[in-house]
Structure 1
Amino acid sequence: MTNPTVNPTVAALVERSNRLGADPRNTNYAGGNTSAKGVERDPVTGEDVELVWVKGSGGDLGTLTGAGLAVLRLDRMRALVDVYPGVDREDEMVAAFDYCLHGKGGAAPSIDTAMHGLVDAAHVDHLHPDSGIAIATAADGEKLTEVVFDGKVVWVPWRRPGFQLGLDIAEIKAKNPEAIGCVLGGHGITAWGDTSEEAEASSLWIIQTAATYIEGHSRPEPFGPALGGYAALPEAERRAKAAALVPTIRSIASQDRPMVGHFTDSDEVLDFLAAAEHPRLAGLGTSCPDHFLRTKVKPLVLDLPATASVEESAARLRELHTAYREDYQAYYDRHATPDSPAIRGADPLIVLVPGVGMFSFGKDKQTARVAGEFYVNAINVMRGAEGLSTYAPIDESEKFRIEYWALEEAKLQRMPKPKPLATRIALVTGAASGIGKAIAAKYAAEGACVVIADLSLEKAQAAAAEIAGDEGADVAVGVQVDVSDEAKVQAAVDEALLAFGGLDLVVNNAGLSLSKALLETTVADWDLQHNVMAKGSFLVSRTAAKAMIEQRLGGDIVYISSKNSVFAGPNNIAYSATKADQAHQVRLLAAELGEHGIRVNGINPDGVVQGSGIFSSGWGANRAAVYGVEEKDLGKFYAQRTLLKREVLPDHVANAAYALVGPDLTQTTGLHIPVDAGVAAAFLR
């Protein structure tokens, strides 16, 4: 079979898909699908065979490659029409697509494959543009379709995606040869063309025509007049309140299973929540299947003005959460059949707070962010539909049929097993280099979202970018913090909360050292080291613990102490004393925070020279002088004084830091782990 990356038909399809998917006005992330039909030589028979290439299940148009396409034989797809058992059994047709695959078939065929294979057009696009869905969800959408598109686009009443919808659209096209596409009631649009360029032009014409019509004909204030007291708070006040509410909101979204969050305070969200009709519209829920599969059928909306205090808002959110869970259970009970999958959880995925913004949640940061993007799409849809008519999403029963569709359940079951630290959010101080950076990298590799906190913002952001790679801010972000400053610690924790929607793991790693004898150690030297390590650890732990307690999800605090916390060496009074302070903080906090499920443990490394910011800033030279060795040989010197004769590296400490928060030591708290290759004088007693 011809390599799809060099097949001109497929190349044009991928390029068209990428262009369409790159513009959020055309479709949302992983939403919609595209296809192309063409001829290739069958390597077995040597005969030409008609094929259809269509975006596979779960792919994204904006990043689609040839490997993401399903490849099917058209003759076999068309033959399915003769064996189609009817709407009641159309789910069986998805399995039948496997018997239509050409060669290895490429990606798994999606539920929309029939739409592309059965429609008599060489190129087909199915998209979810806000403007198109606004027409599709308007109460008089069929009439609007006639008026807006002047007969070039045909209305197709709502039907769940599947084989029958493909037949419906094929029939519509056959009966309307002048049409370039259709509006799918409650759902989206489909367009076609004889060439790839023609299909793309048809799609863009439908999207732009709908958007222009909405802009020119929408009534003022489609969401109703402003609601007193619900206007957006000033930015600084808004974000401070958001950070203060995040722990409560995450606990609400995570009662059934832990979630990662995303915060959005865009104008679309704030304007929607400031208008009088937002409670009614939010209660109607989303309509497009791609929307509500990621946002749940409707959000939880705080019914208090923006001026309500954090305490009032938090208390009311918990009350509303109880009602939301009861309502969702009732929704499930109304529509579930004996064959329905078990309820997947009754917590909201979207929480709206007037004057503040939107909190969206998912199994990871990307999923949470995309859920928020989809709800913004839904707001845009509501604005368009309300501006022209009345927003009328598909029936609740239809939403349930899709949300608890056996095919959707099968897709969820195919998802890869999550990594050990999936859904956990870590804040690591002093993480731009050395031990801290190694720990952050280890946590990210094991599935955590990581906040790199360092005195240098530039270095923190560079470390975050290196650790996250192509996944970017969905995995790691860099923030600036001076751990000795109470206000700056609070600001850094707030940034962590807003970046990922919560906080589960804290590593107190920030430190420095001045190697001086007792008589040479000044009060300033003493205060500096105690402010950064003893006081800094206290401030970070106290601030993080407050959030963890409110989250009700437990958590972990790890102290990077030192073998010097128990080992008495020369010319090190200030450093070793503050490390002993940190070591006892571990025991004190383990005793105090255990009732909240928060575990506190410590690690006692020996001198870690490689990559260390402390050693490179003068400490290494001082210690080398004390021991009478060259600075470049300090790591080797430390190794030779150990029982194992091995140098301790940042990764060794990172492995211990992972062991303490991973799945294997869940019953351990108040522990110190030596990572020193064996220093007998530092054995714990």
Structure 2
Amino acid sequence: MPDQTLHGKVAIVTGANTGIGAAIARELASRGAIVVVNYPFPQLADQAKQVVDSLATASTSVCIEADLSTTTGPQKLVDETVRLYGWVDILVNNAGLAINKPFAEQTLDDWDKLVNLNARGVFLLTQAVLPHLPQPPSPKDTIEVPGEGEVKTERDYGRIVNIVSISARAAPPLQTIYAGTKGMVDSFTRVWAKELPRKYNCTVNAVSPGPTMTEGFAAAGEEFMTAMRPVMEQTPVGDRMARPEEIAFAVGFLCEPRASWINGLHLVASGGLFID
């Protein structure tokens, strides 16, 4: 088991009932974090509960339903988390939706679905979390150290990690709206990394996965995997897709207390498929 470096930290992971989000929840819990497993719809409650049951911190973690594509879902998720735990230390903006179509066939309904969840949901949820992140240290935060007297203590930073996508920068065909929403979150990350740390005592970073073998990809069938073959063959590290736990490890690293000087990073976890 990893060192319990996140023991007692409260982490919200959105869209954590499956795929990369579930892997992130398990990674943070393995380091001791209390995890709020977010899921969007009532019919996914059992799936989310199974994820919670699989966590190393299952006895203290919970699942919370909140549809982040709505204007009220993000605040609902934060309010319920704060009601249960009192604060938030880590926010992982993972929930997202992709629709792949030729540009000429993409519709306003596609636009609303992707923009409302992938971009607006991240915007509203992060705003709602800010007041509940760890407060900056004050001159009164001191301890008595034998032989040294009163010594100022340092309190942990909060962590905001946005899950973006290599699509934001690699610009693949068929992903006009999806790549655009992920590009928006990429820009959010850079702006927030400059604006938020001193005021809200946090760091802001992003992880961009490449193609990852989630349940959704696995269910896509042999034809899809055949279409993915050239992409996998171009990946320098190996002729395969990523495993969800490999993406989750990158998130866990950014949430560590020792990552307190890493801010504004766009960490691309794609096996070298995309190098900016």
TM-score clears 0.5: yes
8 Å contact from structure 1 (residues 609, 634) kept in 2:
no
> Are positions 1:589 and 2:181 aligned together?
no
What residue is the counterpart of 2:75 in the other structure?
Answer: 490
Aligned to 1:525: 110
> What amino acid sits opposite 1:523 in the alignment?
L
**Residue segments in structure 2 that go unaligned for 5+ positions in a row:** 138-155
CA offsets 1:568-595 (integer angstroms, 9 cap, x no match): 2111111111110010110111111111
In structure 2, what is the Cα distance between the partners aligned to 1:521 and 1:576?
13
Is 1:670 aligned to 2:255, yes or no?
no
CA RMSD of aligned residues (A): 2.2
Look up the match of 1:658.
Answer: 252
Mapped partners of 1:670, 1:544: distance in 2 = 18
For 1:160-239, what aligned pairs fall within 5 Å after superposition? none
Q: Is the 8 A contact 2:69 2:117 kept in 1?
A: yes
Q: Following TM superposition, by how much is the alpha carbon of 1:534 offset from its aligned partner in structure 2, in angstroms?
A: 0.6
Mean CA deviation greater in 652-661 or 491-500:
491-500
The 1:541/1:675 distance shift into structure 2, 3 A limit, reads: same
Shift of 1:462: 2.4
Greater helix percent: which structure? 1
Counterpart Cα distance in 1 of 2:123 and 2:170: 22
The counterpart of 1:538, out of the listed 123, 126, 143, is: 123
1:514 to 90, 93, 99: 99
Secondary structure at the aligned position of 2:211 is classed as: coil
What's 2:149 paired with?
Answer: none
Q: Secondary structure at the match of 1:453?
A: strand
CA distance in 2, matches of 1:548, 1:539: 15
Q: Which amino acid aligns with 1:545?
A: L
In the TM superposition, residue 636 of structure 1 has moved relative to its aligned partner by: 5.0
Structure 1 residue 650, shift from structure 2 partner:
0.4
Q: CA deviation at 1:683?
A: 2.0
Change (3 A) 1:437 1:637: farther
Once residues 166 and 236 of structure 2 are traced to their aligned partners in structure 1, the CA distance between those partners, rounded to angstroms, is: 14
Cα displacement (A) at 1:607: 1.4
**C-alpha deviation, 1:667, in angstroms:** 0.1
Q: Does 1:638 pair with 2:204?
A: no
CA distance in 2 between partners of 1:668 and 1:649 (Å): 24
CA distance in 2, matches of 1:542, 1:634: 39
What number of residue pairs does the alignment pair up?
Answer: 252
| Residues 676/535 of structure 1: CA separation in 2 closer, same or farther (3 Å cut) | same
Q: Deviations over 1:388-411 (max 9, x none)?
A: xxxxxxxxxxxxxxxxxxxxxxxx
Q: Distance in 2 between matches of 1:666 and 1:554?
A: 7
Unaligned runs of 5+ in 1: 1-416, 622-628
Does structure 1 retain, via aligned residues, the 8 Å contact 2:157–2:202?
Answer: yes
Q: Which residue of 1 aligns with 2:183?
A: 580
Q: 1:466 aligns with which of 40, 54, 57?
A: 54
- 2:25 corresponds in structure 1 to 440
1:330-479 matched pairs, under 5 angstroms:
419-457=4-42, 458=45, 459-468=47-56, 472-474=58-60, 476-479=61-64
State the distance in 1 between where 2:63 and 2:104 align.
39
Counterpart amino acid of residue 644 in structure 1: V
Q: 1:546 to 1:634 in 2, by over 3 A?
A: farther
Shift of 1:497: 1.6
Alignment of 1:550-569 (within 5 A): 554-569=157-172
Closer/same/farther in 2, CA of residues 489 and 481 from structure 1, 3 Å limit: same
437-446 or 458-467, which deviates more: 458-467
Higher Cα Rg, which structure: 1
Secondary structure of the residue aligned to 2:133 is helix
Give the counterpart of 1:503 among 88, 109, 114: 88
Q: State the identity as a percent.
A: 30
Alpha-carbon contact 2:3-2:31 (below 8 Å) kept? no
Q: Secondary structure at the match of 1:463?
A: helix
CA contact (8 A) 1:455 1:481 kept: yes
Q: TM-score when scaled to structure 2? A: 0.84
Label 1:648 to 1:635 Cα distance change in 2 as closer, same or farther (>3 A).
farther
Q: Name the aligned partner's letter for residue 579 of structure 1.
A: K
- What SS is found at the alignment partner of 1:603? strand
| Cα pair 1:451 1:479 within 8 Å, conserved | yes
Residue 488 of structure 1, CA deviation:
1.9
Distance 1:512 1:489, change over 3 A: same
Partner of 2:143: none
Q: Shift of residue 634 of structure 1?
A: 5.7
User: 1:170-221: CA deviations, max 9, x gaps?
Assistant: xxxxxxxxxxxxxxxxxxxxxxxxxxxxxxxxxxxxxxxxxxxxxxxxxxxx
* 2:174 aligned residue (555, 559, 571): 571
